[in-house]
A and B are shown apart, each in its own frame.
Chain A
Amino acid sequence: MRKVLPLGITFVSGIIVVLANFLAPAWFVAANREISLWFQIVAALFCALGVANLTRIHSKRLARHSEGWFFSIVLFVSMFGFMIIAFSVGQQDDLYRNLYNNTIVPLNATMYSVLVFYIASAAYRAFRVRTLEATILLITAAIVMLGKAPIGEAVFGSWVVDATNWILDIPNVAGMRGIQLGATLGGLAMALRVLVGIERTHFGGTGE
């Protein structure tokens, strides 16, 4: 029961989606339509997993007064605070829009933008012509960088742009396509393993 039921559900739901795509019979298509809607609902209901996980981890931290417990309070206040405000005023209220645009937007955008510092310091420390391969990589990267920033063309002339476009259009398309054809096959094989139930690692952590 604990094994067969989930594997059966995976197989039946998946096979309908596959066959409805390739085969024409109307009832397949109808079943597929309903299953797709169900999938959307199930996926949406997973939305509180983040809140649940964080609540679990951070309430433990609070209870034990372990290092950094104060930050757990910060987390709870911002998480539940945001939800309470959003639920009480809705998504079109000015309060919500201001809160979203001035907390989530700057935080999300700035967290990732910190990477610019790492790429700058890695440029100095790590990107070295240690091997022939690293050298090819760096030379191509340098040309593309010059081709993408307007200053490259202003200083070196239009050949930088032409070279960049050629790199993107010919060797890049060839290399990326080679990688992607392989990756697509890998994805298909993985999906097949899950569908027929020989891949079960994803059930890990749900008890035996």
Chain B
Amino acid sequence: MVTNNPWIWLAAFLTLACYTFPFGDNPVYRFVEHVFVGTSAGYMVTANWFNWIKPNLAEIGNGRYLLIVPFVIGILIYARYIKPIAWVSRIAIAFNLGVASGFILAKDIKPLFITQVIATFQPLDDINNILLVFGVITSLIYFLFTVEHKGAVGVAAQAGRWVMLIALGAAFGSTVMARVSLFLGRVQFLLSEWLFIVK
């Protein structure tokens, strides 16, 4: 019992072809690798076109002529392929990075710094709270680079390093689940949609 849907056969072939790689580089893998790179790059263009560029061009057609400016700025990025005028692509990069950096300066400080500091204002009447507060403090101290890690600072920094190692151990353990999940998803596909072995 296998599917007779040719599309599923195609997906199954591509899936299995990827799995030849861990056993050694080979032409079949290189083939699907290039299909992957090619279709992904093509997808970037089509998705942006349908969901964003096309409707905005329509807006210009409806009389929002100011939008021509960002269209021109955006297209300048491709000047980097034309040697004599390569520098004008900097305009596009400059605008893009300007807004992106402005956004970081505007949005990060409150939720990612101040709110996090406030959330650490825990009453020191409970062992877990004490561990949390001193865990944060010592790991911050570990990352002080203008102070030599000697004496009390050295002790605190060492404690901070240990706290971070535990956090990183948790990240390690969680990553195993993430990687296995990716593989499970493909096995589920092969066994249920292609081979009908499992429902």
Contact A109 B116 (CB under 8 A): no
Tell me if A's interface is mostly helix, strand, loop or mixed: helix
Question: Is A151 located at the chain interface by the 8 A CB criterion?
Answer: no
Size of the A side of the interface (Cβ < 8 Å), in residues, is 123
B contact residues around A104 at 8 Å (CB): 39-40, 43
Q: Whole-angstrom distance between the alpha carbons of A144 and B196 in the complex?
A: 34
Q: Whole-angstrom distance between the alpha carbons of A14 and B101 in the complex?
A: 6
**Contact A74/B172 with A45-B71, A111-B18, A177-B116 known, Cβ cut-off 8 Å:** no
B contact residues around A44 at 8 Å (CB): 48, 52-53, 74
**Contact A106/B116 with A21-B107, A206-B89 known, Cβ cut-off 8 Å:** no
Size of the B side of the interface (Cβ < 8 Å), in residues, is 112
Tell me if B's interface is mostly helix, strand, loop or mixed: helix
A95 closest partner in B (C-beta): B7
**Chain B stretch 50-106: residues in CB contact (< 8 A) with chain A:** 50, 52-53, 56, 66-67, 69-71, 73-75, 77-78, 80-81, 83, 86-87, 89-106
Contact B77 A46 (CB under 8 A): yes
Question: Is B176 located at the chain interface by the 8 A CB criterion?
Answer: yes
Question: Is A90 located at the chain interface by the 8 A CB criterion?
Answer: yes
**Chain A stretch 19-35: residues in CB contact (< 8 A) with chain B:** 20-22, 34-35
Which of B21, B94, B139, B183: most chain A CB closer than 10 A? B94
| Cβ of A124 to closest chain B Cβ, rounded Å | 13
Q: Whole-angstrom distance between the alpha carbons of A56 and B78 in the complex?
A: 12
Q: Whole-angstrom distance between the alpha carbons of A86 and B92 in the complex?
A: 27
Question: Is B195 located at the chain interface by the 8 A CB criterion?
Answer: no
B contact residues around A148 at 8 Å (CB): 173-174, 177
B contact residues around A12 at 8 Å (CB): 98
Question: Is A62 located at the chain interface by the 8 A CB criterion?
Answer: no
Contact A179 B92 (CB under 8 A): no
B contact residues around A18 at 8 Å (CB): 102, 105-106
Contact B183 A83 (CB under 8 A): no
Contact for A116 among B33, B39, B109, B183, CB less than 8 A = B183
Contact B41 A79 (CB under 8 A): yes
A contact residues around B116 at 8 Å (CB): 177, 180-181
| Cβ of B191 to closest chain A Cβ, rounded Å | 14
Question: Is A66 located at the chain interface by the 8 A CB criterion?
Answer: no
| Cβ of B47 to closest chain A Cβ, rounded Å | 8
Q: Whole-angstrom distance between the alpha carbons of A207 and B89 in the complex?
A: 10
**Chain A stretch 173-208: residues in CB contact (< 8 A) with chain B:** 173-182, 184-185, 187-188, 190-192, 194-195, 202-203, 205-208
Question: Is B45 located at the chain interface by the 8 A CB criterion?
Answer: yes
A42 closest partner in B (C-beta): B74
Contact A46 B96 (CB under 8 A): yes
| Cβ of A78 to closest chain B Cβ, rounded Å | 4
Question: What is the interface of chain B, defined by CB distance below 8 A to chain A?
Answer: 7-8, 10-12, 14-15, 18-19, 21-22, 30-50, 52-53, 56, 66-67, 69-71, 73-75, 77-78, 80-81, 83, 86-87, 89-109, 112-113, 116-117, 120, 128, 131-140, 142-143, 160, 162-170, 172-177, 179-180, 182-183, 185-186, 189
Listed by A's residue number, 13 A-B pairs whose Cβ atoms lie within 8 Å are: A17-B102, A17-B105, A42-B95, A78-B39, A102-B10, A104-B43, A113-B182, A113-B183, A114-B19, A145-B173, A177-B139, A184-B112, A203-B93
